[in-house]
Amino acid sequence: MAKFSFRGGVHPVYSKEITSTLAIVKMPLPQKVVVPMQQHIGAPCELLADVEKIEKGTEVKAGQKLGDNKGFVSAPVHAPISGTVVDIGPYNHPLGMKINAVTIESDGHDEWDENIKPAGSLEDLSADDIRKIVREAGIVGLGGATFPAHVKLSPPEDKPIDVVIINGAECEPYLTADHRVMLEKTEEIVFGLKAMMKALGASEGIIGIEDNKPDAHKQVESMVAEEENIRVCTLPTKYPQGAEKMLIYVTTGRVVPAGALPMEVGIVNHNVGTAVAITQAIREGKPLVERVLTVTGSGVAKPANVQARLGTLASEVLDFCGGISESTLKVVVGGPMMGLAQPSADIPVIKGTSGILALTDEDVYLAESSPCIRCAKCVSVCPMNLMPTSIAQASEHGDYRRAEKLYALDCFECGCCSYICPSKIPLVQWIRIGKNEIMKRKNK
């Protein structure tokens, strides 16, 4: 059991029971995939038009690299299926804009690139080898943040890492993909963790799991029983338990300084799905071309945890789950607390897509906001100990200097403030606007 507890947080209705007992189902091979050149934080990929001749009409194999960028903070993208490139151009992206993407029509054979082969046993691989494998496989943080994984595995020399934490908190309501991965791919998580520990020279591995998933906890616990330097840490169920800084504090008691990265306190964090992806990259040589996601919400006919190839359209995924009801008000990619509402389901599943939700008025709360009554509930739930109402107000008034003084940039947008607000003020939205403006000024 965790010794520490982070301040604030909220207890939303979790609605995880809808899908938590449903085993992961593999989606049939899609007819068509759309692969955006940007599925990660960092420099967008450039199409490999010269070397690999990726252009309209090119035949590609599954796992073949489609785009890359020489920049360090970036991750290549690969073809999720074999087939023909039928289109290259801007396509709807879950981030809400159109981003350059490659559309591939399946040949139905699912032939894999011949260069894909096991990398050898973990003992024979050096730390550099592991980093290279992870980079080449295009692995990014699968919890949703999509930060390139190899970057986190390459800390500067003056920042030694002693602990690797695997994030199995899955604190977002509705989502159960990580839960199922922990139950069904336990061994791969532990292997992935060991690979990361080796790449970082870390001496301790921690797997943090919220206590609303006792079966996953038991399963993982039994898997690491023999491991001397890996332990499972039970986390109290509270949103946002899975937020990087909260998770680190709760599992180790270490406080990541404001504005700094976890490596500052000798820690690297990875999602359970990322650990599995790393394992598959090492064992099978497979790049990141599929992921597990939860399809749920009151608007979905047959909610499920599905394993889908990246690039599969959300509309196809929803159809696979029985379609969505007419009363659907919102289609959200990600969880209900931090996910992005979509104007249409014509968007591809990308590396960071942890869930697709179809929410009806049973799930969403639509209300007009009224003036702030200064109840300070947002202040007491803020895990970063900020004053959301004051920041939002400064931002609303265009006083971005004050917003910055109130530490707007420390907000990681968990949404607890907006969630709890009795006046239903979109606090985190105002704070986002403020953060944007502050960053614009800084970059000037």
Binding to other proteins in span 93-112, by CB under 8 A: 96
CA distance 245 to 37: 29
Residue from 41, 95, 127, 364 that binds other proteins (CB under 8 A)? 364
Minimal distance in Å, beta carbon 439 to other proteins?
Answer: 17
Minimal distance in Å, beta carbon 426 to other proteins?
Answer: 6
Residue from 339, 352, 355, 434 that binds other proteins (CB under 8 A)? 339
Helices (H), 173-271: 177-184, 186-200, 214-223, 244-252
Minimal distance in Å, beta carbon 212 to other proteins?
Answer: 17
Residues 135-174 that bind other proteins (CB under 8 A): 173
Minimal distance in Å, beta carbon 322 to other proteins?
Answer: 10
- Give the interface segment with other proteins, choosing from 228-236, 270-278, 285-293, 316-324 (CB under 8 A): 316-324
Minimal distance in Å, beta carbon 376 to other proteins?
Answer: 4
Helix (H) or strand (E) holding 330: strand 330-333
Instruction: Say which residues have a Cβ less than 8 Å from residue 245's Cβ, sequence separation at least 6.
Output: 255, 256, 262, 383, 384, 412
Residues 393-422 that bind other proteins (CB under 8 A): 406-407, 410, 413, 415, 418-422
Residues 375-394 that bind other proteins (CB under 8 A): 375-377, 379-380, 383-387, 389-390
Nearer to other proteins (CB atom), residue 336 or residue 434: 336
Cis peptide preceding 287, ω within 30 of 0: no
Nearer to other proteins (CB atom), residue 220 or residue 392: 392
Match 């931002």 to its residue by tokens. 395
Residue from 341, 399, 437, 439 that binds other proteins (CB under 8 A)? 341
Coil/strand/helix, residue 411: coil
Among 293, 273, 320, CA closest to 28: 320
Instruction: Say which residues have a Cβ less than 8 Å from residue 217's Cβ, sequence separation at least 6.
Output: 209, 211, 232, 234
Helix pair angle (388-396, 427-443), 10° resolution: 60
Helices (H), 284-365: 314-320
Residues 240-299 that bind other proteins (CB under 8 A): 245, 249, 255-260
Residues 3-22 that bind other proteins (CB under 8 A): 6-7, 10, 12-13
